[in-house]
Amino acid sequence: MISQTRDIVQKSLDALLEDGSFLPEVKGETRKKAFTSLTSILSTPNHVHKSYLRIPLEDEKVVRIPAFRVQHNNALGPYKGGIRFHETVNEEEVVNLASLMTLKNALHDVPFGGGKGGIILNPREYSEKELHLIARKYVQYFSDVLGPDKDIPAPDMGSGEREMDWMMAEYKSIRPGMPYRGSFTGKSVVNGGSLGRREATGKGVFFTFRYLVHDFVRDQKSLLTKTDNVFAKTALDFEDRALTIAVQGFGNVGSVAALEAHQSTHLQNKVVAVSDRNVTLFNSDGLDIPALVEFTMKNKGDLPTGEEQLKEIGVNAEIRDRDEVLFLDVDVLMLAALEDQVHKDNVEKVKARIIVEGANAPITTEADTYLSDQGVIIIPDILANAGGVIVSYFEWLQGRETQFYTEEEVFNLLYDKMKATLDTVLPLFFGDPFPLRQNCYIHSVMKLSTVLYRQGKLY
């Protein structure tokens, strides 16, 4: 996964090096040296902080749990990124996710740098009291590098507003008398969190898809019909059609994106499949997404796994293997689970013509190349799943101003921000042969390169 980000950043730098209109004042050998500096800066983190959290458990055992905080780049502002609670966390993954945050914030013009955190554990294996202690210990161990103007964590996989509330409270106790509201985002509303933060990533995932296949295609149809761009042909194929959608992952991101698709009045969507860690549920006539969302809220986030459970909530669905969601004959596949889900060994079985990355890096480099060569439109993570960090920025602002937006205001601001990004990258995407991911990375690298050059950090 880490090589994918580095490779695409390097391709972007190579393209910009040859583009004389970019940083035209930097020429000759000076230009080559500057771009060599950019490669080094953007491919490595500023800091990697590691520790082992000493946790006394309720059974009187003591464990030491590995934890990380990676700070990739802060040229655009304080480091920003979630803390992942998951057993698959490792240093390479956290470094890659931190670099992705740097690029994501640059793409969407959010004044933050890139950071990321991780704790290697399965939260289902710990009691609430133990998780509370783990959250507090994380802040204690990394308090010197965290803060509202230094590094601002947020929820990620396995963590949520509960953990952010605990962590902010611990930060407040460690830093008495200092500003604390902006030290963590993704908090509960009563603790200074923003309305709409939990739903923001899922809503953004659906919005990017809807804007591309509905708003942009409708408004730019004359442009798309004149180009021989293979992705333009794919987009036009979806105009004014009833679309079938499958969603992998039914957590905060996938369930919200599925619900948005189910309720959308802009497109004739039919969510025919959803999945989680246990099961895929399928109905060719469309699933009752609101009923499934309500069930997961009462059952620790899990979808129904048996006929009796489906019957109890009145949902008609076939129960299939959890990975089958990837290979269904649908128009759209939304990936909102883990990284590396579509790879070289299974990519040829993927039938969807549009894929939306709600998760980070769910498609490997080899699979990405294969699908793009087939004309499949991939709306990449850097573009599609930025709703969370954008609304985290709004939360950070609200905490500093102690004035809070309504939920409607938050979502309107979110859509405006994402629309501005889409209006920048989509014309380029449909006007040249680069996949959308490459276009997004080029835009991010341009922004970062310009700022780093103006700050005198390339010499």
Catalytic residue list:
116
Positive or negative, the CA dihedral 318, 322, 324, 330 is: positive
Q: Is 436 exposed, middle or buried (0-12, 13-18, 19+ CB in 10 A)?
A: buried
Do the Cβ atoms of 75 and 455 come closer than 8 Å? yes
Nearest to 347 by CA among 367, 363, 319: 367
Q: Is 311 exposed, middle or buried (0-12, 13-18, 19+ CB in 10 A)?
A: exposed
Q: List C-alpha distances in Å: 134 to 11, 69, 391.
A: 40, 14, 26
Look-up of token digits 């999945």? 275
| DSSP code at position 350 | -
Positive or negative, the CA dihedral 139, 147, 99, 197 is: positive
Q: List C-alpha distances in Å: 426 to 5, 317, 395, 396.
A: 20, 36, 28, 29
- Distance between CA atoms of residues 80 and 87, nearest Å: 22
